Amino acid sequence: MKQSTLVKVASASILKNKLRTLLTMLGIVIGVGAVIVMVAVGNGAQTMIQSQINGLGTNLIMVMPGSTTPGGVNQGAGSYNRLTVEDAEKLKREGTLYSAVSPVVTTRTQVIAGGTNWRTNIEGVSTDFTAIRNWTTSSGAFFSDADLASGRKVAVIGATVAKSLFPDGDPIGAEMQIGHVPFTVVGVMVTKGQNAGGQDQDDVVLIPYTTAQTRLSGRIRLGEILISTNSADDIPAAQEEISGIMREAHKLQGEPDDFTVRNQTEIAEAATSTTRVMSGLLAAIASISLLVGGIGIMNIMLVSVTERTREIGIRMAIGARGSDVLTQFLVESVVMSLLGGVVGLALGYGGAALLGHLTGWATSTPASAVAIAVGFSAAVGIFFGYYPARKAAGLNPIQALRYE
């Protein structure tokens, strides 16, 4: 029997019982749709986290304080701080793979302007900070090297701080008080949004680190040192170079590092690992619907074999081979599964878009997920349709013709 004839016969049989066919396909539709929605949500979450991580900076490496172990008890990262401006200067002077280096002095205090106050993060940084974080000003300008060298009391504020302190006016040139020290606003940064940890990156005031050390924190130690490499490929080698320079600066001979070097890739992997596991788990649970749908197809095909026993006997009596009958029933099963997969795919896309619209979540469906879902639905049709098809092909023509 020709393949085109088999497809026509199978299609006619499917259309003969439209309601039963729709109910049979329902399990596949729900399964594929659920898998697409779960994968879209999980992939969208990972994409959003990766975007937020990339927003931290360009080829970013962070040097942070290390840990101390008094009495053999490790106090954790950041418990032993020996980072100084001299370390940052030495890294910038001796490093061969870096495009920018910035010390960071961090404090949190009250900021007052025009009778309004706001508690925010104050970060003392260098002029390299904008290149490292790939962050520019939306109005005004960032402070200069001359401001840094003289320790001028100038500030560049984030969008959140600008909206909170200057809701109705232009903050450029305005006076603001950080703690008890007056500062002049010289710039406003472009809106950056939340980071992967949910922290508002625009809720910040940036000032020269020299001013932060002498006027605000009074601390010699740095909170961290930010470094940007020339390219992403340089990050592993740059980390090795940073470790070597830092060990030399701190005169560590045979002792463990008293600092920690991390890059944004490590942060991204840590942030997305949980999301990846949850997405896989949800997709696996949704796949159970495909299994249930496959069992439904097998049941209906077995019923169909019983109902069409005389038809099968007639086909065999006029020359149809067992392989033709087997193929016919397999085609019916696969067509139902594929149709269910396509409908489920459309519903999955629509459901993911609707969910994203209602909740504000980012959704993204990779092409691989589409191919896997449709391919898996076809595989379900073959797997669960084979036994009924085999049973139909194995019928004795004489007994089939006598069946009532």
Could you tell me what percent of the chain has a pLDDT over 70? Answer: 80
225 is in which domain, residue-wise?
A: 81-257
Number of domains in the chain: 2
Same domain, yes or no: 105 and 237: yes
Same domain, yes or no: 236 and 127: yes
Please state, in angstroms and rounded to a whole number, the distance separating the CA atoms of residues 65 and 71.
19
Does some domain include residue 238?
A: yes
Does some domain include residue 69?
A: no
Domain boundary among 206, 222, 257: 257
pTM of the entire predicted model: 0.61
Residue found by looking up tokens 């002077």 in the block: 93
Mean pLDDT of 172-201: 87
Does some domain include residue 63?
A: no
Does some domain include residue 385?
A: yes
Q: Residue 243, exposed/middle/buried by CB under 10 A (0-12, 13-18, 19+)?
A: middle
**Residue 226 pLDDT exceeds 50:** yes
Measured in whole angstroms, how far is the alpha carbon of residue 86 from the centre of its chain? Answer: 37
Average pLDDT, the chain: 80
Residue 76's pLDDT is what? 47
Highest mean pLDDT of the ranges 28-37, 278-287, 307-316:
28-37
Residue found by looking up tokens 């399964």 in the block: 31
Residue 288, phi-psi category: left (phi > 0), alpha (psi -120 to 50), beta (remainder)? alpha
Does some domain include residue 67?
A: no
* Structure-block tokens of residue 269: 């992997």
Residue 51's pLDDT is what? 64
Helices 264-307, 18-54: inter-axial angle, 10-degree rounding: 180
**Residue 75 pLDDT exceeds 50:** no
Residue 393's pLDDT is what? 72
**Residue 70 pLDDT exceeds 50:** no
| DSSP-assigned beta bridge partners for residue 140 | 187
Residue 105 near residue 212 (C-beta atoms within 8 A): yes
Residue 188's pLDDT is what? 95
**Helix, strand or coil, per DSSP, at residue 49:** helix
Q: Locate all alpha helices (DSSP H) within 200-317, ordered by sequence.
A: 209-211, 235-249, 264-307, 309-317
**Amino acid residing at 337:** S
93 pLDDT band (50/70/90 cuts)?
very high
**Residue 236 pLDDT exceeds 60:** yes
Domain boundary among 257, 285, 310: 257
Please state, in angstroms and rounded to a whole number, the distance separating the CA atoms of residues 102 and 104.
6
Please state, in angstroms and rounded to a whole number, the distance separating the CA atoms of residues 336 and 29.
10
* Structure-block tokens of residue 353: 């878009």
190 pLDDT band (50/70/90 cuts)?
very high
